[in-house]
Amino acid sequence: MTTAPVAAGRAAVVCGIGAELPPHIVTNADLTAGLDTTDEWIRSRTGIAQRHIAGADLSTGDLAVRAGAQALADGQPVTVEALVVATTTPDRCCPATAPAVATRLGLTGIPAYDLAAGCTGFLYALATGAGLVATGTVRTVLVIGADRLAALPNPEDRTTVPLFGDGAGALLLRQGSADEAGALGPVVLGSDGTGADLIRASRPGALHMDGSEVFRHAVDRMATASRQAATAAGWELDDIDRLIPHQANSRITAFVARRLGVPEDRQLSDITETGNTGAASIPLLLARSAADGRLKPGHRTLLTAFGAGLTWGATTLTWPSLRNSHPTERGRT
Ligand code: COA
């Protein structure tokens, strides 16, 4: 499915970014104390060297508030009129996490809702946020991806524990025009419930994943969605300056880039430092690479993700000039 802006020329434009990683870092070496694994296996099969882990005192909502506050501080001064929180790990089954996050950000009264689409959640949330702007429902929307995925695996399962980390990232969107830097292009979204059992968790500590099947689907779906999003934006694949894929496994993202013919140095990554942070992964990578200079204003940027559901998505934007915010700038690695 492709969503196009409703009113010609009107678009949702990125005008602020924020990111938050829990301070506690668990390295691969730390994991070998309790799991039959090695740093070499994890690095070579996944690209991951460490992950940030939230303690019991740091909820998904806490991470979301910190990332959202950064996006508001770093964005142009605007009144936020809606909030979407993409998460697979809400603080409670009921109520949703977003209204409490909104209130803690001083935004009581605005529409605020959660959205669950696995690791594709941030792109689904961007699409609905952009839709609110395109229809004129609101003029500004804060989109946050926040997850504590490290809580999902069985702590004794070496095939899943090393993969996941915790974090949150946010983009602030405002109403603008489609020809501005920062304007989101059409968003390609899809799902396939026949693969629902491939990644599933009935509760924290009970994640089941068919790794090799998920790997195959992830490469196929992200490559196809990326082509569709580029076409919908009127781009050739050669036009892509920066590919920002969901960070699930560095081998998956390398395959996606190769399928698209995107050179290695244009495919950005931070999985070594963060592991798979779910709905937070894309905004975290955007924030880190904008902060360290790999992503610059004017870069034609393609975002793509895949996750439980199965779900997938992709979209485009020309990276705008923003004040950047990433925890690395605030002294974290
Ligand atoms: N340390 C050491 N050995 C491990 C291990 C670990 N942490 N995890 C698995 N192994 C072993 C397996 O037990 C298996 O051993 P066996 O051959 O004796 O049975 C061997 O390594 C190969 O396992 P396999 O599952 O085939 O490895 P893989 O190359 O497919 O890598 C994943 C496994 C999970 C890293 C990979 O399949 C993957 O990343 N899948 C996608 C995950 C994902 O993206 N999930 C989220 C989607 S948003």
Residue nearest atom 9 in ligand 1 by C-alpha distance:
159
What separation in angstroms does the CA of 183 have from each of 97, 131, 150, 197, 319?
27, 13, 33, 36, 9
DSSP character for 185?
-
The response to whether residue 159 sits with its C-beta less than 6 Å from ligand 1 reads: yes
Cα 323 to ligand 1 centre (Å)? 39
pLDDT of res. 6: 43
CATH assignment, 187-318: 3.40.47.10
Residue nearest atom 10 in ligand 1 by C-alpha distance:
159
Identify which of 212, 250, 253, 282 to mutate to test ligand 1's pocket (most ligand atoms within 8 A of the CB): 212
Residue nearest atom 2 in ligand 1 by C-alpha distance:
37
Cα 67 to ligand 1 centre (Å)? 31
The response to whether residue 207 sits with its C-beta less than 6 Å from ligand 1 reads: no
Specify the fold of 2-176: Peroxisomal Thiolase; Chain A, domain 1 (3.40.47)
Quote the CA–CA distance of 46 and 249 in Å, as a whole number: 5
The response to whether residue 154 sits with its C-beta less than 6 Å from ligand 1 reads: no
pLDDT of res. 324: 64
Give ranges for CATH 3.40.47.10 in the chain.
Answer: 2-176, 187-318
Give residue-wise pLDDT tens across range 231-259.
Answer: 999 999 999 999 999 999 999 999 999 99
The response to whether residue 119 sits with its C-beta less than 6 Å from ligand 1 reads: yes
pLDDT of res. 5: 47
Could you identify the residue written with the tokens 């809606």?
Answer: 82
3-state percent breakdown (helix, strand, coil) of the chain, nearest 5: 40, 25, 35
Give the predicted TM-score (pTM) of the model: 0.95
Give residue-wise pLDDT tens across range 71-107.
Answer: 998 766 789 999 999 999 999 999 999 999 999 999 9
H or E element in which residue 182 lies? none
Asked whether 11 and 180 are in contact (CB, 8 A), the reply is: yes
pLDDT of res. 8: 55
Query: Residue 192 CA to chain centroid, in angstroms?
Result: 20
Identify which of 32, 46, 159 to mutate to test ligand 1's pocket (most ligand atoms within 8 A of the CB): 159
pLDDT of res. 78: 81
Q: Which of 145, 152, 151 is nearest to 200 (CA)?
A: 152
Quote the CA–CA distance of 91 and 148 in Å, as a whole number: 10
Quote the CA–CA distance of 245 and 122 in Å, as a whole number: 12
The response to whether residue 117 sits with its C-beta less than 6 Å from ligand 1 reads: no
Cis peptide before 237 (omega within 30 of 0): no
Cα 29 to ligand 1 centre (Å)? 17
pLDDT of res. 298: 97
Q: Which of 69, 80, 67, 187 is nearest to 141 (CA)?
A: 80
Residues of the chain with pLDDT under 70: 1-9, 75-76, 324-325, 329-333
Catalytic residues: 119, 246, 276
